[in-house]
Amino acid sequence: MKEIFASNGSKKELWQNLTRFIADNYRIKSDFAFYGKNYGRALRSRKAGKALLSMYPGEEGFTVQIVLGETAAEKAAGLKLGKNARKVLENARPFPEGRWLFIRIGSKPDIADVQRLLMLKAPPSRPSRNAQSLKC
């Protein structure tokens, strides 16, 4: 984990906030996976055998990958999302397994957008107060 925090730089707190949100709201285990030289390592969170999201640490921050099925993507289009997440959603190409969203995290509003998208993809197993306060 030290390497992750070292590479995240000033975004360490955002990484911790998102991993805490996942731990507080979903009964899942996360593990690190290696996705090859182009992508490197990622913290992968799965629910019921399906990918919930992956977090790719990088220079001075990280990127979150969420794959939304077509129904969830349509619902996401109606969410009040920030400029960053909105642009990613609008530009994501549809694939048979859904739209692959790669959201570069730069601020707390980006984390809130990821949390909203996660709740669309998979309702929390045990919602925390933080999840209940987010409007979808």
The full 3-state SS of the chain, as one line of letters, equals CHHHHHHHHHHHHHHHHHHHHHHHHCCCCEEEEECCCCCCEEEEEEECCEEEEEEEEECCEEEEEEEECHHHHHHHHCCCCCHHHHHHHHHCCEECCEEEEEEEECCHHHHHHHHHHHHHHCCCCCCCHHHHHCCC
What are the average pLDDT values for consecutive 10-residue runs of the chain, which has 136 residues?
Answer: 55 91 89 82 88 88 94 95 97 93 95 96 75 52
Rounded to two decimals, the pTM is 0.84
Domains parsed from the chain with CATH numbers: 2-133 (3.90.1150)
Residue 29 confidence (pLDDT): 80
Residue 121 confidence (pLDDT): 93
